[in-house]
């Protein structure tokens, strides 16, 4: 007779994301409210909740407490991400337009960064972003401000 050992199911980032989205919906909270609760930016909070960044341990614990999630979720939220996304252009209209902006203006952004800083890149790790609503006579505008550390290419 063979003894069997049942391996417990480990919670994944996708599992925690689904729990967060469910708790957010049930609580009727906005990302700004959730971020304010844990003293983080809404952009960072959303990105980390979607599994694209790792929360500092104390912020993960604060989010778990604020959202009423299982304690195990804090450890998952603090794990480094594996950034995997679709390589094809998405069909969601808002996300598609962001791809369109990069497709149209990406070479321009690259050229202007290189003129101002030299050959290199803008970091997406040492990075922050703000999204604000700006009133405009032709219709309100979405203002996206991105700030990333300049990283020069190095020879080695």
Domains annotated on the chain, with CATH:
13-78 (1.10.260.40), 93-152 (3.30.1160.10)
- Cβ atoms of 127 and 149 within 8 Å: the answer is yes
Calpha distance 114→130 (Å, rounded): 23
Give strand pairing partners of 150: 122
- What residues act catalytically? 97, 100, 123
Report strand pairing: 141-152 vs 120-134.
antiparallel
Residue 69 CB: number of other CB atoms within 10 A?
A: 20
Calpha distance 38→49 (Å, rounded): 12
- What are the backbone angles phi and psi of residue 81, rounded to the nearest 5°? -80, 155
Residue 7 carries which DSSP code? Answer: P
**Digit-coded pLDDT (tens) for 104-132:** 888 788 988 998 999 999 998 899 999 99
Calpha distance 147→124 (Å, rounded): 9
**Digit-coded pLDDT (tens) for 1-38:** 556 666 558 899 999 999 999 999 999 999 999 999 99
What per-residue confidence (pLDDT) applies to 5? Answer: 61
- Cβ atoms of 45 and 55 within 8 Å: the answer is no
Mean local confidence (pLDDT), 143-154: 93
**Digit-coded pLDDT (tens) for 59-110:** 999 999 999 999 999 999 999 987 666 678 788 899 889 988 888 888 788 9
Among all chains, which residue has been given the structure tokens 């994301």?
17
Calpha distance 41→77 (Å, rounded): 16
Token readout for 9 is 């199911």
Nearest to 50 by CA among 26, 95, 19: 19
What per-residue confidence (pLDDT) applies to 156? Answer: 73
């Amino acid at each position: 007779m063979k003894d069997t050992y049942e391996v417990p199911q480990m919670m994944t980032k996708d599992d925690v994301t689904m729990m967060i989205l469910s708790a957010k919906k049930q609580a009727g909270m906005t990302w700004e409210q959730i971020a304010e609760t844990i003293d983080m930016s809404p952009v960072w909070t959303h990105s980390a909740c979607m599994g694209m960044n790792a929360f500092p341990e104390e912020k993960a614990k604060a989010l778990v407490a604020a959202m009423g999630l299982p304690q195990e979720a804090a450890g998952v939220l603090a794990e480094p991400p594996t950034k995997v996304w679709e390589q094809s252009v998405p069909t969601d209209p808002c996300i598609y337009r962001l791809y369109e902006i990069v497709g149209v203006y990406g070479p321009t952004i690259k050229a202007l960064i290189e003129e101002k800083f030299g050959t290199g890149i803008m970091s997406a790790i040492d990075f922050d972003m703000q999204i604000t609503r700006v009133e405009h006579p032709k219709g309100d505008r979405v203002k996206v401000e991105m700030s990333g550390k300049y990283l020069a290419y190095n020879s080695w």
